[in-house]
Amino acid sequence: MSENLSAFAYLFASVCFIMALRGLSSPLTARMGNIYGIVGMIVAVVTTLAAPNVLSFSMILLGMLIGGAIGTIIALKIEMTALPQLVAAFHSLVGLAAVFVAAAAFYEPAAYGIGVPGDIHVASLVEMSIGTAIGAITFTGSIVAFAKLQGLVSGAPVVFAGQHALNAFLGLLMIGLVVWFCGEESTALFWAIVLLAGVIGLLIIIPIGGADMPVVISMLNSYSGWAACGIGFTLANPALIVTGALVGSSGAILSYIMCKGMNRSFFNVILGGFGADDAAAGPAGGDGDKTVRQGSADDAAFIMKNAGSVIIVPGYGMAVAQAQHALREMAELLKAEGIKVSYAIHPVAGRMPGHMNVLLAEANVPYDEVFELEQINRDFASTDVAFVIGANDVTNPVAKTDPASPIYGMPILDVENSGTVLFVKRSLSPGYAGVDNVLFYRDNTMMLFDDAKTMCEDIVNALGSM
């Protein structure tokens, strides 16, 4: 394939990737978008395979078969509730792949047209070492994120004295190593960079609490994009550069959206330690001296059956309990009674962006019954029942009233304005932010203490026997 033709093919692949993300602007076009992405990937791979210096295909085919089989099996088996872990695991692979590609380029620079071993162009060395370092950070960082999310290690932040100083020192050391490497170009230095970057990746993620992992994952996603860009410059491949920039922007924007949704600065998240004193913050609210109104599944069924409209507010607890199917069944029964049912999704409900939407979609809830905060928040005032299931922080009015609260300034769903608020959760314990929810003690609140799934099933039964 001539160089010009392959340049056009890579451009075509880039456009496909842009269209893939563009498709996600609406659920209607999203599947088409994914197809674009697949087409782009096929074009990019075939174009590379047709390059004059790609001669032996058996090993490549073997690699793609092994990798493809593993990927397919994982993708088909994974539970939708395990999405955050899955994304973290996949990211770690991209990071590691970037490291290996950079290593290959370092050992065989001629294949990439960037010089000969021992005399690689300086620009390429710079790009390569940045790509490698970011790749290695992404690798170990994502591994830690995965382990925390999967529960392999405790999600609690690991903090120790001098942590930030150590990280800063290692960061400086890294810069020194890169400069040295660009001058010396030694193999030992290359692997030293990989090793050091790996350690840094580990150290910058351990102080961050398990629940902050989604921000971290997005951040690592963004990093891996910029690493791809760096390697794209080395390989003089526009498809890599464009894709890297897309992925880099996407990760950065998602982190930004999450931080804004939590009303925390990015640095606050990255510097870590949040959630370390959960236990301390929780009881501080004091739940002994206030009274809560507790209800049963029958009470809930009765209240909702007599309502005209119900808004369901799902949260992290729904995901944990895998209650989405039972919840949808409950909603169907209510709708059959002529009650208007809609779902309100807070931008940071659950543990990753769009988490609730995917789970509801999995349970066959049509997406036009599911609304974003801005679309539905005004409707709570004219709604009879807000059914809050496994959500907590995203409904807590202290975010509006108490400037001392860690969630102060975060936009919340105004469930308090509806006629009755039903809270499904197992206890009075606080949510992710560790802040007591004042709504629990309001007169128009009824607590339904149980696992979210069990409670939904009980309400379904109660509704059936009414």
Partner 1 sequence: MATDKIVEQATGLAEGAKSLAENAEALAAQVSQLSVQASGGTDVFVFYFTIFVLACFVGYYVVWSVTPALHSPLMSVTNAISSVIIVGALIAAGPDDMSFSKVFGFIAVVLASVNIFGGFIVSQRMLSMFKKKK
Contact 451/317 with Cβ under 8 angstroms? no
For residue 456, give both structure tokens: 């939904």
Residue 464's binding partner among partner 1, ligand NAP, none (Cβ under 5 to 8 angstroms by kind) is: none
**Interface positions, 100-139, toward ligand NAP (CB under 6 A):** none
Residue 453 Cβ vs partner 1, minimum distance, rounded to whole Å: 19
Is 148 near ligand NAP (CB under 6 A)?
Answer: no
Establish how many alpha carbons lie within 13 A of residue 28's alpha carbon, considering only the half-sphere containing its beta carbon: 1
Measured CA angle at 258 (ends 257, 263), to 5 deg: 95
Check residue 104 for interaction with partner 1 (CB under 8 A): yes
Selected from 141, 210, 244, 390, the binder of partner 1 by CB under 8 A is 244
Least separation in angstroms between residue 73's CB and partner 1 is 9
Neighbours of 358 (CB within 10 A): 15
At closest approach, how far in Å is the CB of 256 from ligand NAP? 12
Phi, psi of 52, deg, nearest 5: -60, -25
Catalytic residue among 212, 393, 414, 458: 393
Of 132-140, 209-217, 272-280, 438-446, which part binds ligand NAP (CB under 6 A)? 209-217
At closest approach, how far in Å is the CB of 137 from ligand NAP? 20
Closest to 279 (Cα-Cα) out of 143, 162, 403, 434: 434
CA 138 to chain centre: 14
**Site for ligand NAP (CB under 6 A): which residue of 351, 376, 399, 439?**
351
Distance CA 251, CA 247 (A): 6
State which of positions 119-178 bind partner 1 (CB under 8 A). 123
Residue 355 binds ligand NAP (CB under 6 A): yes
Cβ neighbours of residue 148 closer than 8 Å, sequence gap 6 or more = 154, 155, 210, 213
Query: Judged by CB under 8 A, does residue 101 bind partner 1?
Result: yes
Position closest to ligand NAP via CB:
431
Binding-residue pattern over the window 55 to 94 for partner 1, x denoting contact by CB under 8 A: xx--xx-xxxxxxxxxxx-xxx-x-x--x--xx--xx-xx
CA distances for 130 relative to 19, 85, 102, 197, angstroms: 28, 26, 10, 10
Q: Is 91 in the site for ligand NAP (CB under 6 A)?
A: no
Q: Is 393 a catalytic residue?
A: yes
Alpha helices (runs of H) in 306-426, residue ranges in sequence order: 316-321, 324-336, 355-362, 373-376, 398-401
Residue 190 interacts with ligand NAP (CB under 6 A): yes or no: no
Sheet holding 420-425, edge to edge: 370-372, 340-345, 309-314, 385-389, 420-425, 445-449
> For residues 423 and 448, what is the distance between their CA atoms, to the nearest angstrom?
6
Q: If you search the block for the tokens 């990937």, which residue do you land on?
A: 41
Residue 320 vs 361, nearer CB to ligand NAP:
320
Site membership for ligand NAP, residue 452 (CB under 6 A): yes
Question: Which residues, numbered 408-447, are part of the site for ligand NAP (CB under 6 A)?
Answer: 424-427, 429, 431-433
Active site residues: 393
Binding residues vs ligand NAP (CB under 6 A): 211-212, 214-215, 258, 262, 315-317, 320-321, 348-353, 355, 390-394, 424-427, 429, 431-433, 451-452
